[in-house]
Structure 1
Amino acid sequence: MVAELSRFRCKEGTMRALTARSALLVPILSIALVASGCDAPTEAVAADTQPALQRAAPEDVGMSSERLTRLHDGMQQLVDDGRLAGITTMVARRGRVVDFQTYGQRDIEAGSPMEEDAIFRIYSMSKPITGVALMTLYEEGKFRLSDPVQRYIPEFTDLKVAASWGADGPVLEDADHPMTIRELMSHTAGLAYGIGAPGPTDRLYATEGVLSRQQTLKDMIVKLGAMPLRHQPGTLWYYSIAVDVQGYLVEVLSGQPFDEYLRERVFGPLRMVDTGFHVPEEDHDRLAQYYGYDQDGNLTAPANSGTVGSRAFLDPTTFFSGGGGLVSTTTDYMRFSLMLLNGGALDGVRILSPTTIELMTRNQMPRDNPERSPGQGFGLDFSVVLDPVASEFYSVGEYYWGGAAGTWFWIDPAEDLVFVGMIQQRGGRGRPSVRSISHRLTYQAIIEPLAQMEENE
């Protein structure tokens, strides 16, 4: 039996958590903890258990229960109108969950209702998790953001840039400088993606299978090292495969497989018990069906191919995609988000320092950057709100991201607010702007701004 000991009250600089390979080790660990300045644990907690998130009545944290019903009604209407199959939403303020709702069906054909423990393909909501994992190594002094990526990934040495494309392929030129890790984390490294965009570099990525699940991260790196960059590093923001490269960088710097590192340094400490690169067999029935739309905007089940195939995310994989390979639950992602809002810690377990979280959520782009949406910048693996009026968001410093299947989250430090929403709906004609709708209906439920609450305390 594997047991994990956590929530120790320790002196500064000592361990906050230890993992025991057997419950028989608890007495030995207790002695070690006392010697190191930690109070001995009172009990062993199974590694696959999850402590309940703190809850509060909305009114206790400056929100209105009555007004939150508008959020419920808005989400339910999207289901009733046949625009979404199923939804979950969770709202937390001042570190406590005030609302957790499910709507519609997890699987329409099976008649299975959406449930709180449903598992979702979060696709690009994997990216902030990968960024956090990489920054744990930054805090250990394993790299600097200004370091050239080729220092750690020699396959990226002397990469060429596709200055233009002709009938015979790319016209190459030297890169002005080697891409840096900061550029890798801010999508300005010059990489492409191979999905969604019609450009020649993206088509080359797709042809060469850089995102194939039948490979390893090392295989991907070798392919990328033989391809040109889309543009000069540091000159443009372009959504790319950069976060998958970050996952490989974690492997190089830590000496561990990426999935193992995530379990050890992020998922385990945060008790994200249902987050990983595939759904275990015993939980297959919890994975929400992924729906698309036909040409008339009606819901349809998607084709069983590619990353939404009938076995994708059900079978173990060797391709640990930090950019889009994770599955998770609403509760797991709320635990991750609360850690971020809390300055890098949750339930007494610290993942990152507050200064590192601030660095990650600080804009890295010029304010007039034309590639980003109006009023928005980009940090290190997060989109960041710079101008709420121009961006139609609510607070300066709000940060967020989403996934290809429609999952979404945002964190608003100015209002001490977190929102996590989950759907499994392919984009295209018919999919509503559920992020925008939920955003408006959540903020209208705030009846006491945080600044006012703090003045009254």
Structure 2
Amino acid sequence: MINNDLAGISISRLHEMDDFLNKTYIESKKLAGLMTTVYRKGELVHYSPMGFKDRDHNTDLDKNTIFRIYSMTKPITSIALMMLYERGLFQLDDPVYKYIPEFKSLEVYVSGKDPDFITKPVDRPMNIHDLLTHQSGFTYDFMQTTEIDFAYEKRKIMRNKNKSLEHFVKELSDLPLQFSPGSRWNYSVSVDVCGYLIQVLSGYSLDDFFKKYIFDPLGMKDTDFYVPSEKIGRLASNYLYTGSDIPSLITSKEEGDITQKPKLLSGGGGLMSTTDDYLQFCKMILNNGNLEGHQFVSRKTIGLMTSNHLTGESDLSQMAFSRWSESKFDGTGFGLGFSVITDPVRARTLSSKGEIAWGGLASTAFWIDPLEDLIVIFMTQLIPSTTYDIRRQLRSFVYGAILD
């Protein structure tokens, strides 16, 4: 535990948070292990691993543990794309088909089942802004609500790691959109399309671009789309909630070989990382795109990305097509890669206006609060992320510990 009274945080309250997490989730075996990090005013205030990275082998979770961060990949991809925006390589209102010709003839679902869909033309072409804000009309197969969701599942959209991003884009172009671009918000594979755009615009593969322009300059030495065999012992086991308090282990056979780089580089959910690495990324965001003298994006770009971009400054409760997100809907808007708190009262949780956040499928989460000069990162490995209300519980403890 690292204590620093200058950061305006009650360390005893954070100890109470640890006691709560240990009793509620570790001793009950609801979670195998977890790590909580609190960073405020330039100080690492709290750094607390507990439990196991693998319960069956009793191997302790520690600062070197590697986690599947799933959708916490999305903010990294969004920053990478905006780095190219600053180089003048595209405009946010550019039609996506300008760079991905397969998207020239996209249509919107009206009725029918796959493959006999009845469709209509889009009201306007999809643009890059739609992708970054999840207003594209794309979806995810796990939504399990509409005929388009079921078609994604049937066709294994984003499920085959042996197919390239080029193949993914072609498969996507063969299916209708849920709605006309810009008219609704729906969590989706949009940021995977952003990952493909990075390759098209930069001439780099997605992993090479990340490494050269983000990971190496930030010192994120343990973040990648796979875990090399020499690091595999540091990888936390992944667990699935099945209705019992004690989750089931997801076996390596079920997951596939993650010691080899996949052909499909998912900018929407493919990265593995450590708490230390992801903290570096968050510090760069909090510091307006700069860290240790290296400018990744400008202060103005960070300001644009962390503003609410939903139509008419509405929130997710007004714009959402489906009811699934890594954030709450009321009082929450969406920027370019992050959820954005627009009204803490409507959000009904301790937070600040302008706070940005996101999470991952295996219950990982982070938030950045510029008003409080605060970063919080939570790491664990339990699918799905909606199993327990840990994120709001963390907010209660962390904001309740602020003294100044």
* Same-fold call, TM cutoff 0.5: yes
Deviation at 1:101, TM superposition (A): 0.8
Deviation at 1:164, TM superposition (A): 2.0
**Equivalent residue number for residue 46 of structure 1:** none
- Structure 1 residues 428, 405: CA separation in 2 closer, same or farther (over 3 Å shift)? closer
Deviation at 1:305, TM superposition (A): 5.5
**Equivalent residue number for residue 359 of structure 2:** 402
SS at match of 1:157: helix
**Equivalent residue number for residue 325 of structure 2:** none
SS at match of 1:283: helix
**Equivalent residue number for residue 341 of structure 1:** 286
Alignment of 1:296-445 (within 5 A): 296-302=244-250, 304=252, 309-311=255-257, 313-365=258-310, 366-367=313-314, 369-371=318-320, 373-391=329-347, 392-427=349-384, 431-445=387-401
Amino acid at match of 1:86: G
Amino acid at match of 2:73: S
Task: Decide which of 238, 242, 245 is 2:190's aligned counterpart.
Answer: 242
Pair 1:184-2:131 in alignment = yes
| RMSD between aligned residues | 1.7
Q: In the alignment, is the contact (CA less than 8 A) between 2:227 and 2:259 conserved in 1?
A: yes
Deviation at 1:161, TM superposition (A): 1.1
**CA deviation digits over 1:17-74, x for unaligned, max 9?**
xxxxxxxxxxxxxxxxxxxxxxxxxxxxxxxxxxxxxx97431111122222112112
Distance (whole Å) between structure 2 residues aligned to residue 217 and residue 166 of structure 1: 26
Amino acid at match of 2:108: V
Deviation at 1:393, TM superposition (A): 3.6
SS at match of 1:259: helix
SS at match of 2:143: coil
SS at match of 1:251: helix
Q: In the alignment, is the contact (CA less than 8 A) between 1:58 and 1:98 conserved in 2?
A: yes
Rg: which structure is higher? 1
Task: Decide which of 222, 227, 230 is 2:170's aligned counterpart.
Answer: 222
Matched-pair identity in %: 38
- Structure 1 residues 421, 167: CA separation in 2 closer, same or farther (over 3 Å shift)? closer
Distance (whole Å) between structure 2 residues aligned to residue 398 and residue 196 of structure 1: 26
Distance (whole Å) between structure 2 residues aligned to residue 115 and residue 168 of structure 1: 48
Q: In the alignment, is the contact (CA less than 8 A) between 1:385 and 1:393 conserved in 2?
A: no
**Equivalent residue number for residue 143 of structure 1:** 90
**CA deviation digits over 1:128-155, x for unaligned, max 9?**
0000000000000101101110111111
- Structure 1 residues 79, 148: CA separation in 2 closer, same or farther (over 3 Å shift)? same
SS at match of 1:72: helix
**Equivalent residue number for residue 287 of structure 1:** 235
Alignment of 1:103-252 (within 5 A): 103-165=50-112, 169-211=116-158, 212-252=160-200
Deviation at 1:304, TM superposition (A): 4.7
Distance (whole Å) between structure 1 residues aligned to residue 75 and residue 337 of structure 2: 5
Q: In the alignment, is the contact (CA less than 8 A) between 2:363 and 2:382 conserved in 1?
A: yes
Amino acid at match of 1:240: S
Number of residues paired by the alignment?
390
**CA deviation digits over 1:397-431, x for unaligned, max 9?**
001000000110000001000001100011288x3
Amino acid at match of 2:361: A
Task: Decide which of 210, 213, 216 is 1:268's aligned counterpart.
Answer: 216
**CA deviation digits over 1:188-223, x for unaligned, max 9?**
011122223332112112222220211111110111
Structure 2: gaps spanning 5 or more residues = 321-327
**Equivalent residue number for residue 75 of structure 1:** 21
Q: In the alignment, is the contact (CA less than 8 A) between 1:400 and 1:411 conserved in 2?
A: yes
Deviation at 1:443, TM superposition (A): 1.1
Distance (whole Å) between structure 2 residues aligned to residue 167 and residue 155 of structure 1: 19
Q: In the alignment, is the contact (CA less than 8 A) between 2:362 and 2:383 conserved in 1?
A: yes
Runs of 4+ in structure 1 deviating by more than 4 angstroms, as ranges, are 303-306
Amino acid at match of 2:9: M
Deviation at 1:226, TM superposition (A): 1.6
Amino acid at match of 2:243: Q
Q: In the alignment, is the contact (CA less than 8 A) between 1:58 and 1:64 conserved in 2?
A: no
Distance (whole Å) between structure 1 residues aligned to residue 266 and residue 241 of structure 2: 26
Deviation at 1:344, TM superposition (A): 0.4
Distance (whole Å) between structure 2 residues aligned to residue 237 and residue 90 of structure 1: 31
- TM-score, scaled to structure 2: 0.93
Distance (whole Å) between structure 1 residues aligned to residue 9 and residue 385 of structure 2: 34
Q: In the alignment, is the contact (CA less than 8 A) between 2:361 and 2:385 conserved in 1?
A: no
**Equivalent residue number for residue 27 of structure 1:** none
**Equivalent residue number for residue 30 of structure 1:** none
Q: In the alignment, is the contact (CA less than 8 A) between 1:293 and 1:428 conserved in 2?
A: no
- Structure 1 residues 349, 296: CA separation in 2 closer, same or farther (over 3 Å shift)? same
Structure 1: gaps spanning 5 or more residues = 1-54, 449-457
Distance (whole Å) between structure 2 residues aligned to residue 167 and residue 281 of structure 1: 41
Greater shift after overlay, 87-96 or 414-423?
A: 87-96
